[in-house]
Amino acid sequence: MRSIFNVAAVLLGLTSTLVTASPVARSSFPNDGFPNPSADQLKGIEQKALGTLPNGNPPNNISADGLINLRLIALNELFEVAYFNDLLNNVTNNVMGYEFKNKKNRDFVIKSLTAVLAQEELHAVNANNALKHFNTDQIQPCKYTFPVSDFQSAIRLAGTFTSLVLGTLQEVIEIFAAKGDAPLTTGVASVVGQEGEQEGWYRLIQGKVPSELPFLTTSTREFAFNALLQTVIVPGSCPNLKAINLTTFGGPLKLLTNVEAKTEPIRFSFEKPSYGYDKFKLAYINQQNVPIVEDIKVKSTDGSTVTIEANFPYDANEMNGLTIAALVKSAGPFKNAQAVADATAFGPALIIIN
C-alpha cells in the first residue's frame, strides 16, 4: 500500500494483507478544545506540555512560500496530535497490543506521551496562530487512518514520521531564510531540537542508539506532504488542502524488500502510469549528501502494478538512518533533495537502517 506504512510493515515483518486489514478512519482530538482552545483550555495544555506557546509577535510580513511552510507544518502537526492522542488513549485504556506488564514502564510512557501530545498541540496551535496573524485561513483537520495496532509498531511509525519531519524542517528553515522570513527561523529550529528529543526516545524504545546519524537526512516539503497524503490522511477528508500549494506525485512507491545494512538489489512497486517509465531512475536521499541515482530493472508487470529492482548502495555510502527513495523521471545528476523532489514521479519510500 503506502510508504511509511510499508516501512512499519517491513520492520515488523508483517505481511501487507495483515496490515491492510486494519485501518479505521480516526479524527479524534483530546477533549480540551483543540484545535481551537479557549484561553483557559490553553493554560491546561501548556501545563501538560511543560511550557508555553511563544508569546512574542511574529513579523509583520511573510513571503508566499513562507505561508506554504506554515500550512504544511499545521497539516502535519494536526495529524501528529490525532496520532499521539490515539496512542496515549490506547496505552491508558490497556487496549490489546498496548498493555504493559511493568507498571513503572507504563507510568513513564503515559507521562511522556502526555507531554508529547500537549507539545504537538502547541506546535499546531502556533502554526495556525501565525496563519491567522498573517490574515490567511488556518489549516483545518482531516480524517486520519493509522496503520498500526500494537505499541512497538506505533512507536516505529512515530519514529519514521518524526525522521521525515526532522528532514523537512531543515528545508523549511532554508526557505524562510531565503525568502525574507528570517524572524521565523528560530522557532522552527527550536522545534527541530524538540522533535529530535522525541526521536531519541522512540529510538531507545526500539533498542536503537538514540542519536541516529552525525547529520540527519534532509528532505523537502513535497516528500512530507505526499507521505502524509499517501499514508495517514483519509483521501478527500481535508477541508482546505488546496491552500497548500505543493506538488502531488503520481502515487506511492511501495517498498517490497526488508532492507538490511548491506549493498544489494531491493524491490519497489508502483501503479503503472499512462506515460512511459523506461527512462525512470531510482534516487536515494541520505544524510546531508548529494542524492544517489541508480538504474532500475523492471522485474514484472502484474495488471497495473509494476515491480522494479534497484541497487541499494549501502556500503559505499554508510547509508544508515533515514533514506528517502523516489522514482524520478530523469537521470540527474541531482544537486540536492529539492532537485530530486522536482523530478519525482512516484514516492517517497522510506527506509531506516539502524
Which residue has its beta carbon closest to ligand NAG? 180
228 lies in the binding site for ligand NAG (CB under 6 A): no
148 contacts ligand NAG (rule: CB under 6 A):
yes
Interface with ligand NAG includes 248 (CB under 6 A)?
Answer: no
CB of 61 to ligand NAG, least distance (A): 4
Reference 95, options 13, 36, 169, 154; nearest CA is 154
Residue range at the interface with ligand NAG (CB under 6 A); choices 61-69, 117-125, 188-196, 281-289: 61-69
Q: Is 280 in the site for ligand NAG (CB under 6 A)?
A: no
Which of these ranges, 28-36, 174-182, 276-284, 291-299, lies near ligand NAG under the rule CB under 6 A?
A: 174-182
185-205 and 151-178 are packed helices; what angle lies between their axes, rounded to 10 degrees?
A: 160
Residue 306 CA to residue 300 CA, distance in Å, equals: 6
The alpha carbon dihedral of 53, 59, 65, 71 has a sign of positive
Q: Which member of 52, 190, 245, 354 binds ligand NAG (CB under 6 A)?
A: 245
Q: Is 232 in the site for ligand NAG (CB under 6 A)?
A: no
Identity of the residue, 96 or 316, whose beta carbon is nearer to ligand NAG in the bound complex: 96
Q: Is 9 in the site for ligand NAG (CB under 6 A)?
A: no
Residue 109 binding ligand NAG, by CB under 6 A: no
Q: How far apart, in whole angstroms, are the C-alpha atoms of residue 181 and residue 202?
A: 32
Segment 24 to 53, residues that bind ligand NAG, using CB under 6 A: 24
Q: What's CA 185's distance to the chain center, in Å?
A: 20
- Is 249 an interacting residue with respect to ligand NAG (CB under 6 A)? no
Q: Is 149 in the site for ligand NAG (CB under 6 A)?
A: yes
Question: Residues, the chain, total?
Answer: 354
Q: Which is nearer to ligand NAG, 19 or 282 (CB)?
A: 19
How far does Cα 123 stand from its chain's mean position?
A: 15
For residues 22 and 190, which CB has a smaller minimum distance to ligand NAG in the complex? 22
Q: Give the footprint of ligand NAG on this chain (CB under 6 A).
A: 22, 24, 61-64, 83, 86-87, 90, 95, 97, 146, 148-149, 154, 179-181, 245
